[in-house]
Structure 1
């Protein structure tokens, strides 16, 4: 008598209601309406287990035998096949997390490390714009280097910096997925980079307006909120982020000092030391002109929250200018150098740059506020059409 494969396909098809053994613990439970289901009976650690293998309509005889053989082999090793199948199902469900969801969770967990809790969107935007539209619906466990290569290849050379950031952020997302217990290929981004090859890209500086042209541009600006923001940015040589996030409470009207929180300053995230900016007479006037626009405590509000990161750049593009707002920092620094406006450390500190090595900074703890105040007053005079000529300053 055969111990396995006792049933034929014909017997399975024409069997009436009842239970029919195919051998090795595989049973067919047939119903009145012609339907049925497969059941595997095994014994594990002296305990009898009955495991459903699917309906007769969906699982033919050959497939039922293959499934039965697989689960019998586990039972022979002392593994409960029902519990193992449940474990595999949980793992499969866990690994169905989509890339877009894991990326959002990774971004959320890193907000505390980012300037302004990531409100500018610079951390997430490379993923949001160039990766998630194509791969966001892919389960993170199925993501491989070919998917990544094909997604970033169109911008790998044309938008080299953005593509590199997108690849770097994706690597962080994969490590986040692994920390969640998901089965991912942590080497996928490394292998994708190897497939993409070296980038044909030359780093170019942000276009800066020559300092000689700044007065004419400044004179052309009106008193709208965007133009006032640009005015303050030019006069203080600040980056766009501190200007956009400037709060009314950050301005001291008596001392004419704008205090920028550390989290709004590049390179000072996670630190406690603020950066004080002395306001020239013109910068102080601009800040007062902007006050009526204030909303929600912000000096330069946007429709929702602070002014958009692209507002000032768009204003300059609409003027058909190749220059960018950030370039005014270079305009200021070049003016200071060409005009011999002051000592190196004063000019660099005015830009918020760290000057000197760690030992030197431990002894020099002054932020050179008063020296910078004189420097920014003369820069303001130049910007507003004055001579901008300075006498050589002595390091304090």
Structure 2
């Protein structure tokens, strides 16, 4: 039995704090007016947690509420944090998607992309997911959205998948979900999309800006190497073996020596501001014992090709590292007016025609400098 009773509470006149025992306290403001407080210890700290007013919560209910709070604290649950979570109003997928779109569209320079981003979700995701709370959406529900278009419209399906993931990841960051988007299960629940040719699996360039945003959410030597590879359109081995002595800091040029190039000729790479920024960020990993820009676990050893591929696997992106060169080439062909020869030099491809190769005396450096700046702008302005 506690120290208080319903009859005693009615007889109380003087304002003050009256203990019922076990941490339950009535904070009386006047006859019949006051509120209940329970005092608990959590993580070594004393906390007073309000339970409700005297006129809305009787003694029996106050004791029950106090008992539940004490039980949570003993179980290692923070009662205040739990209460805050319970007060959060979880949005539906449709409301969350519109919020994400509103937050990000200002950063999207391409008006067509702004419209397409939400339109694809309205067409394919809202009919099945729109009314569901984001906290309740799991892999099977996403799979059911994608299954009808996964083989019929593979590129559209990949975009819908990425955008659903973006909405759920945003919801996780806002505290509306207990976990990030459950994309891993989808790879087992959907059939393999057939390749149209024998080329390396490449990411559509329209998906690249969103991928780079995800890549930048964490910082590591491997992720920075992958970002640098994408921004320079270089081969994996060229990036993994890159050395600080090859970088002309003043001119922002990366000179790859002939012995490290597939064609056996020195290759100059103009560094966009974004690519140069990667070098600034990776400089904090620089070792006094190695000249490697992207060292592996052992400073004098470069990253392995599998390490870069592992990043893509962890992010559940079904492409190859080499495929990003195809992504760049497709962008050049479809989104720019640069001649094919300029893009081919940027990729350090050899000229099959020996006569043409003998007469070419330029590496189109100034044109490539402009092209790589535009490529970087596209990568980060079209999310």
Give the TM-score category using the shorter length: 0.3 to 0.5
Give the TM-score taking structure 1 as reference length. 0.44
Larger radius of gyration: 1
TM-score normalised by the chain length of structure 2: 0.46
